[in-house]
Amino acid sequence: MEFARLAEAFEKLEAKTSRLEMTADLAELLNGAPESQIGKIIYLLQGVIAPPHRGIELGVAEKLCIDALATVTGQTERAIEASYRKTGDLGGTARLLLEERKQRSLGASQLSVAKVHDNFYRIATASGQGSQTAKTRLLAELLSNASPIEAKAITRFVTGRLRLGVGEATIIDSLSYAKAGDKSLSKELERAFNLSSDLGLVAETLYREGMHAIRAFKPTPFNPIRPALAERLPSAAEIIGKLGTCLAEGKYDGLRLQVHKSGDRVEIYSRRQEKITHMFPDVVAAARRQIKAKDAIFEGEAISYDEETGRFQAFQETIKRKRKHGIGAKQKEIPLYLFAFDLMYADGKDYTTVAFAERRAALKALVSGKGLIELSKAVAVKTPAELDAFFEECVNAGLEGVMAKDLKAPYVAGSRKFAWIKLKKSYAEGLADTLDVVVVGYYYGKGKRTEFGLGGLLTAVRAEQRFKTIAKIGTGFSEAQLQELRDYLTKLKVPKKPDNVDSLLEPHAWVKPELVVEVKADELTQSEMHTAAKTGGRGLALRFPRLMRIRYDKSAKEATTEKEARGLYESQKTH
Ligand code: ATP
């Protein structure tokens, strides 16, 4: 397919705000494309060149783009920079420059989706000496054959500024519309996506093989599965009331890992489907040794254990491994355990559809010998008293609480269900649960904090595509966290309030709403200062909010919603 058609579709989509219209436009675009191009089109619409878990990132610096534009248009870099400063959009500048050029260069050829995708891929994977020159050349090749609109799309894409506003759900709906004329296939398509985290693959399967192949979708090693998530209830009595006899497991406060194995190859994915294998060489070795299956996908919570004190260490210690360097040293300092708690796939068998009791038995049979992979601590409980006793035991052992699991439930990827119910120690202290809020701005701080350039955070909950403020957080920070936050947030700083943020407060600096932090508070109150769940001029606010930790493992899309905050506010009245 010609790239021009995609660039035109980008233009149209950018101007649309109605999801329904977007869906219809996308369905038409997909139906007009050859089967072999569908996957690539989907990735380009998502602003990526491969599913995110492959970790193939374009990340072309603006400077490189300006170099390429200079080569193609014959303008000086300074002139291009000056025009960019005026528009604030390098894509817009590229379009203007190419319009001024009047004619395409001699010998220019029509760009195809495949050619553009291929050059993007080569730019992303070029490395080593001379790679900058190679990247500039590959980009210049595209730009010299591009029309003004195509140049705008290409420039925005490579600099990561292509914000079409088409989310995963819109793409799924448009695939359903393309094939059925309505949303009737969306649920099944979504399931396939949840099992593979690869919309390009889902779309291509749909176009090549049809719905029967979508229905037969199974987990496959190295396509991360979107995790099943837990609901919460405030007491053992309510949990037993909901589940009856269930399996209670220790709730480890660590890092959730999804381990994929096929033969000797092992990869590890985070809760957000990022490939994080490099952080866990010890888990990789243990998976090769302890997992008695050629192919397997299972999940567990990784947590460090302090041999001296005989206690598990806080999440912060475990996450220190996030640092790319010094992994060897860290490994010795804090030995890690992986407490396996679920099995999704083994040697051709899809376990996501079978009852948890069977999954747990298969997991037990799969993990063999002594090593850092162990099964999570678990007991079957029938009564609230038994659950409470197990809860006590877990908390005394330094765990965060318990997870009660429905023995009959399947593993429903990517959804929050009462198949798993968490009961945390923190429920007894203050507000029923912590909130995961998104940082939308920060304050420079007073006194000692001025030296860090950060003294507090303005945070928000999520409401569809918007962020509404719920708390100003000024306590709970360690010095290290202040520095870490300052470094991270400086990179996210934007000159004015982002359009998708609703705030009556004006922090010293606004940031792109991306970073999630976990906060604890005494209670939720109503306040005229905040915009979350606003009714009668008053929004919800956290009383005495304090920072617990930075949640790099959660995206803003997974932050606490306005609805959940309202639910917590309501439940305060009853508990
Ligand atoms: P969520 O993952 O539900 O969005 P969260 O990341 O804030 O929430 P919690 O609310 O504390 O975490 O609880 C869910 C998490 O608990 C799981 O995602 C998993 O990482 C962790 N966990 C620890 N032990 C277990 C266990 N035995 N079974 C399942 N999950 C466990």
Quote the CA–CA distance of 53 and 276 in Å, as a whole number.
9
CA atoms within 13 A of residue 115's CA, in its CB half-sphere: 16
Q: How confident is the model over 484-542, as pLDDT tens digits?
A: 899 999 999 988 999 999 999 999 999 999 999 999 888 888 999 999 999 888 999 99
Please give the distance, rounded to the nearest whole angstrom, from the Cα atom of residue 230 to the centre of ligand 1.
7
Residue nearest to atom 2 of ligand 1 (CA): 229
> Pocket of ligand 1, candidates 301, 373, 425: which has the most ligand atoms within 8 Å of its Cβ, to mutate?
301
The boundaries of every CATH 2.40.50.140 domain in the chain are 435-572
Q: Are 417 and 228 in contact, with CB atoms under 8 Å apart? A: yes
Of 295, 217, 227, 292, nearest in space to 256 by CA = 227
> Pocket of ligand 1, candidates 226, 229, 379: which has the most ligand atoms within 8 Å of its Cβ, to mutate?
229
Please give the distance, rounded to the nearest whole angstrom, from the Cα atom of residue 78 to the centre of ligand 1.
52
- CATH fold for domain 229-428: D-amino Acid Aminotransferase; Chain A, domain 1 (3.30.470)
Quote the CA–CA distance of 470 and 492 in Å, as a whole number.
20
The boundaries of every CATH 1.10.3260.10 domain in the chain are 3-158
Quote the CA–CA distance of 478 and 186 in Å, as a whole number.
45
Nearest ligand 1 atom to alpha carbon 255: 20
Of 285, 293, 429, 303, nearest in space to 351 by CA = 293
Q: How confident is the model over 368-407, as pLDDT tens digits?
A: 988 999 999 999 999 999 999 999 999 888 888 999 999 9
Q: Enumerate the active-site residues.
A: 251
What are the backbone dihedrals phi and psi of residue 428, each rounded to the nearest 5 degrees, phi first? -80, -15
Query: Which class would CATH give 435-572?
Result: mainly beta
Looking at the predicted structure, is the pLDDT value of residue 325 above 70?
no
3-158 maps to which CATH number? 1.10.3260.10
Which residue type occupies 454?
L
CA atoms within 13 A of residue 226's CA, in its CB half-sphere: 19
Which residues surround ligand 1 with Cβ inside 6 Å? 229-230, 249-252, 256, 301, 341, 376, 403, 422, 436
Q: How confident is the model over 56-74, as pLDDT tens digits?
A: 888 788 899 999 999 999 8
Q: How confident is the model over 336-372, as pLDDT tens digits?
A: 999 999 999 999 999 999 999 999 999 999 999 889 9
Q: How confident is the model over 130-144, as pLDDT tens digits?
A: 899 999 999 999 999
The boundaries of every CATH 3.30.470.30 domain in the chain are 229-428
Residue nearest to atom 16 of ligand 1 (CA): 251
Please give the distance, rounded to the nearest whole angstrom, from the Cα atom of residue 519 to the centre of ligand 1.
16
Please give the distance, rounded to the nearest whole angstrom, from the Cα atom of residue 133 to the centre of ligand 1.
46
Residue nearest to atom 11 of ligand 1 (CA): 253
